[in-house]
């Protein structure tokens, strides 16, 4: 259990002329929290993880564990555990020996470590496999072994995951995710989970850190990220499909699309000269065949029936937007329609940022 502080931590691979892989940032990871680091390839999340674990020494900045400066310390001295993209197990050893390995390296007696290993094996539901050769197990079981080697050390403060479900079968991913949540509740460790899969991030974490191009774009709960994305990138990235952004203008103190005044949740006035758009999620966009307040003229361009939901592609002015309807095809209007934006569910975005 540790509170992790990052002070002005930044990193670049290569010389001073190269771009920052991770732009200098300062943040705190609370003790016992379950965090997800979410972002596309190359956004810097793995770099950040490796700096926290100590596998990379940051080009600048300090890393503190419970106020202690650990920046110069190697991973083995930091009381962290790391689980990688693919299972890392010692093939020639049994599951038991795998789990016992870190403890043996610390000089624990066999009697003492046996108890600890069995404890951890119970938590991970690996007890029955302790005598088997690690090599013979399936990928998800091997990942559990990887995790187990971290949990087995009593002083482990944080467990870091680098896309651990990458090579797991889809139907087993869910089980493993649930197990991780259980462990979090049971052992009260800090968990940092790097992924590019928003479903994993949103279901796993209490707090999600969204990253793009080397910087943190937003930190918040899954609901916050979904409902009030602070940045266009977050709007796009979270949600399936992502948020719709309809270009608008600011006239007479309000946003307008195609001449229609649209009330939004934004209270402030956007800065002058910024490119403006209104963001609204497909889940909240409503369709009607009659005009009304906040209803913008739209043309139905395509319809995709996906069973429990229907995806409707709309042309609003020159832009395309998606609406996700639950009601079914019967409620669809004809080609010419109106798209209604619920005021509480949309906001104005100036350049990339949300206007509060």
Task: Write each residue from 159 to 198 as x if it is in contact with other proteins (CB under 8 A), else as -, in one continuous string.
Answer: ----x--xxxxx-----------------------x-x--
Task: Write each residue from 33 to 72 as x if it is in contact with other proteins (CB under 8 A), else as -, in one continuous string.
Answer: --------xx--xx------x-x-----------------
Separation between Cα atoms, residue 184 and residue 169, nearest integer Å: 22
Q: How many residues in the shown chain lie near other proteins by CB under 8 A?
A: 41
Please pick, from the candidates 20, 84, 245, 284, the single residue that binds other proteins as defined by CB under 8 A: 84
Residue closest to 237 by CA, chosen among 281, 175, 206, 270: 281
Please pick, from the candidates 20, 32, 86, 351, the single residue that binds other proteins as defined by CB under 8 A: 86
- 150 touches other proteins (CB under 8 A): yes
Q: What contacts 279, CB < 8 A, 6 or more positions away? A: 229, 232, 235, 243, 244, 245, 346, 347, 348, 349, 354
Q: What contacts 70, CB < 8 A, 6 or more positions away? A: 54, 63, 64, 77, 78
Residue 276 in contact with residue 350, Cβ under 8 Å?
Answer: yes
Fill in the DSSP letter of residue 16.
T
- Between residues 40 and 271, which has the closer beta carbon with respect to other proteins? 40
Q: Where are the alpha helices (DSSP H) in 23-94?
A: 45-53
- Between residues 85 and 207, which has the closer beta carbon with respect to other proteins? 85
- 310 touches other proteins (CB under 8 A): no
187-209: burial string, b at 16+ Cβ within 10 Å, e else: eebbbbbbbbebebbbebbebbb
Please pick, from the candidates 3, 32, 64, 85, the single residue that binds other proteins as defined by CB under 8 A: 85
Binding site for other proteins (CB under 8 A): 41-42, 45-46, 53, 55, 74-76, 80-82, 84-88, 90-93, 101-102, 105-106, 135-139, 146, 149-150, 163, 166-170, 194, 196
């Amino acid at each position: 259990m540790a509170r992790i502080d990052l002070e002005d931590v930044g990193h670049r691979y290569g010389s001073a002329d190269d771009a920052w892989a991770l732009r200098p940032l300062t943040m705190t990871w609370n003790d016992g929290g379950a965090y997800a680091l979410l972002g596309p390839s190359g956004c810097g999340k793995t770099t950040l993880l490796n700096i926290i674990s100590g596998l990379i020494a940051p080009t600048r900045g300090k890393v503190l564990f419970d106020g202690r400066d650990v920046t110069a310390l190697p991973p083995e001295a930091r009381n962290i555990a790391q689980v990688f993209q693919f299972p890392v197990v010692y093939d020639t050893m049994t599951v038991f020996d795998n789990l016992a390995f870190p403890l043996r390296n610390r000089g624990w007696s066999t009697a003492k470590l046996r108890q600890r290993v069995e404890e951890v094996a119970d938590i991970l539901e690996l007890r029955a496999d302790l005598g088997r050769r690690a090599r013979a197990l399936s990928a998800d079981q091997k990942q559990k072994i990887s995790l187990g080697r971290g949990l087995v050390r009593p002083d482990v403060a944080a467990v870091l995951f680098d896309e651990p479900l990458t090579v797991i079968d889809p139907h087993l991913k869910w089980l493993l995710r649930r197990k991780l949540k259980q462990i979090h509740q049971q052992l009260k460790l800090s968990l940092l989970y790097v992924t590019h899969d928003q479903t994993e991030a949103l279901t796993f974490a209490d707090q999600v850190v969204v990253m793009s191009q080397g910087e943190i774009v937003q930190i918040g709960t899954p609901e916050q990220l979904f409902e009030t994305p602070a940045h266009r990138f977050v709007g796009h990235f979270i949600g399936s499909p992502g948020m719709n952004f309809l270009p608008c203008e600011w006239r007479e103190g309000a946003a307008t699309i195609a001449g229609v005044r649209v009330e939004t949740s934004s209270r402030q006035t956007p800065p002058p000269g910024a490119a403006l758009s209104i963001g609204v999620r497909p889940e909240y966009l409503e369709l009607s065949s009659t005009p009304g307040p906040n209803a913008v003229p739209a043309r139905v361009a395509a319809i995709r029936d996906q069973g429990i939901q229907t995806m409707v592609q709309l042309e609003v002015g020159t832009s395309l937007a998606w609406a996700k309807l639950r009601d079914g095809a019967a409620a669809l209007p004809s080609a010419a329609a109106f798209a209604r934006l619920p005021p509480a569910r949309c906001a104005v975005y100036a350049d990339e940022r949300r206007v509060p």
